[in-house]
Amino acid sequence: MPRTERASLMLETDAFYDSLLERVEEQPSNILASSPTSDDKLLERLANLLEGSVGSALAEKDWADAVSEGERRVEASIPPGYIDRDKLESELPERASGDHRIS
């Protein structure tokens, strides 16, 4: 494909996505944070997909070790999860180690 035709297609594609994004952002959100999760079809499908794939909870020491390792990886910029630096001071129990723990 000639370079000029490729460039033209890229411009058309960019314009399409910009237009699509603009239209989507104009719409009010139909999903409220307080919506019941029992009506969430995506969550239901995800739960079915993960059924039997999630292990038991970690022992307290293993949990603490996993959190420490996740934080070490964030500090050293080692994936997964290193981009979650802003979560190091989070009030979440796993702080920045969430991505590392599920990998």
Report the predicted TM-score, pTM, of the whole model to 2 decimal places.
0.45
The pLDDT tens digits for 28-77 are 766 666 667 778 888 889 989 988 887 888 899 988 888 888 888 888 88
C-alpha pair distances (Å), 11 with each of 2, 15, 35, 73: 14, 6, 39, 39
Q: What does the DSSP 8-state code read for residue 69?
A: H
